[in-house]
Structure 1
Amino acid sequence: MELRFFDDPVLFLDVAADHLAEQPVVSTVVSGVANRIAAEAAEGIAWPEGVPRWFAVVGDGEDIVGAAMRTAPFGSYPAFLLPMPEEAARLLARTLVERDEPMTAANGALPAVQVFCEEMAAHSGGTVRVGQHTRLFELGDLVEPEPVEGRLRPANLDELDLVLSWYDAFMADADEQAGRAPGESPHESLDREAMTRRIEGGRIFVWEDTSGEPVHVTAASQPSYGVSRIGPVFTPREHRGRGIASTAVAQVSKLLRDSGEQACLFTDQANPTSNKIYEALGYRRVVDMANLRVE
């Protein structure tokens, strides 16, 4: 079994295209991030100094059986693994140790990420702990909820600070609802330039109430292999309980579907409310994932 690393996302996508396209919903994070980094590099946007970056494929000759990446610009820079055989996950972990790149966190599909982290723990004498269990859903037949007063519209640049604050509040709120300590789930915090690009790209939507006040945000990633990922989805506490999130996600899902894209999203398994909401809209389970730590 052979393991190949790539620094250039374009070369990685050239090699891994067929593998990623075979299950485009499952591969959405890896293919989406690789495409975004490639597009930003073409625009002259520099990679953050000190943040490691690689993409990898593992397989038997030309038969690729798994892919992974290390591009997260937060925490201890965790890796992300797509489904792969246990042998491939162990090979990836051992190779990283051999090149003096031991890792203390990884995210991705189970059981591959569990095997990867256990191999890392065996090297360091540590233990593996679950930071967060997530679940990937894809949209089946959309079930539209009861209508809510107000309307969905693209966010505008005048709302940049508001949307930035909602992005930060999203993860803090997710930790609180799941009973985790504040900051337990490390995540990317967008700067003003990155948020500006996303708003200008027309993939961030707000729900405004009948007075014109924005009261909710739902975002969607740029499509990769025809799949777009919805999230974050956030409603400030004082506006909850009115069905805004369900209606906004349903309308964004419909926009994506009508443009020929397949919609998917992740949920926190520790938050039964969000899982129930999305399943009621017609989202169906695809694969379970986890954010694991080696301590």
Structure 2
Amino acid sequence: MIARTVDGPAAFRDLVFPFLQGDPVLNSTLLTNIADRASGIMNDPEPPVFVAVHEGERVVGAVLATALRGVLLAGMPVELVTPVADVLAAAAPRALGVNGTADAALRFAEEYGVRTGRGYREVERTRLHRLGEVVAQTADGTARLATDADVELLAPRLGAFRAEVGHVGEGAAADRVWVRQRIERRRFWVWEDGGRVVSFVGHQTPVFGTVRVGPVYTPPEYRGHGYASALTAEVSRRLSETGDQVCLFTDLANPTSNKIYAAIGYRPVRDFVGYSFS
């Protein structure tokens, strides 16, 4: 196995998408992150590192390393980790962390740590789910697509969401751009009750017949009314009606959210683990 860096998101997309297409649900995070960068709506404070793993001339693995999210292994099998760790220890020696399936993420953290002299610790466990038959959820209010008039309200809430889940952001201006770009692409929904926007749900770029829901956020003062459940169910229903497979990630440390998504009709696919590097 040989791992090589690839210059630029478009070239990386063209090289690895035929491989990743083999399991678009398991590889959803890679597919959408690559697609958004290739289309110019995902911006990074430092150039990402794109790595393809080859067996002869055949691509058998793909990895993305970004300044704000670290190393995304997606569904990469553990036996491919060593050549990736070799390449990224040189090409991305200050990665924030790594996320992947349990055995692959741990192996990468160990091998990358040896090569860079950095420590690591587990920081998150998540579960990938695929939507089965959607079950509607009820709450006071209605769903609607977000509009440009919502940007100034939603951008600070996106920042609050990032802080709550421990994601690094680039500040208020970047959050406004992020929200506006997704509103323009009809990928951001809100739940409105009594004239108040009380919850939001986004979804990612559909790729190879698969679309991932997220982020999902309700400000603390509006929680406990079922707004996020109702909105997620409605967005999931609309997406499933296009014929796409619908998936999402849940935080395994939050049993309430896992119960809510199960009630909507989501079923487990695979668990993932995240490590941060020190």
Superposition CA RMSD, Å: 2.1
Distance 1:100 1:201 in 2: 32
> Displacement of 1:141 after TM fit?
1.4
TM-score by length of 2: 0.91
Distance 1:65 1:110, change over 3 A: farther
- Structure 2 gap ranges (5+): none
Task: Work out whether 1:52 is the aligned partner of 2:79.
Answer: no
Tell me if the contact between 1:120 and 1:294 (Cα under 8 Å) persists in the aligned partners: no
Distance 2:169 2:63 in 1: 18
Task: Work out whether 1:262 is the aligned partner of 2:254.
Answer: no
Deviates more, 1:16-25 or 1:191-200: 191-200
Deviates more, 1:3-12 or 1:195-204: 3-12
Distance 1:291 1:238 in 2: 29
Deviates more, 1:161-170 or 1:58-67: 58-67
> Displacement of 1:218 after TM fit?
0.7
- Structure 1 gap ranges (5+): 175-183
- Which of 127, 130, 150 is matched with 1:138 structurally? 130
Tell me if the contact between 2:130 and 2:267 (Cα under 8 Å) persists in the aligned partners: yes
Tell me if the contact between 2:200 and 2:216 (Cα under 8 Å) persists in the aligned partners: yes
Tell me if the contact between 1:155 and 1:199 (Cα under 8 Å) persists in the aligned partners: yes
Identity within the alignment, %: 37
Q: 4+ residue runs of structure 1 moved beyond 4 angstroms?
A: 45-48
- Which of 47, 58, 65 is matched with 2:60 structurally? 65
Distance 1:114 1:124, change over 3 A: same
2:17 aligns with 17
Q: What does residue range 203-282 of structure 1 map to in structure 2 within 5 Å?
A: 203-209=187-193, 211-282=194-265
Q: Quick one: which amino acid aligns to residue 273 of structure 2?
A: A
Q: Quick one: which amino acid aligns to residue 269 of structure 1?
A: L
- Report the 3-state secondary structure (helix = DSSP H, G, I; strand = E; otherwise coil) of the residue aligned with 2:39: helix
Distance 2:248 2:43 in 1: 26
- Report the 3-state secondary structure (helix = DSSP H, G, I; strand = E; otherwise coil) of the residue aligned with 1:129: strand
Deviations 1:137-193 (A, max 9, x none): 111111222x2221100111111121111112223334xxxxxxxxx5435654322
Q: What does residue range 116-135 of structure 1 map to in structure 2 within 5 Å?
A: 116-135=108-127
Distance 1:265 1:188 in 2: 24
TM-score by length of 1: 0.86
Task: Work out whether 1:167 is the aligned partner of 2:158.
Answer: yes
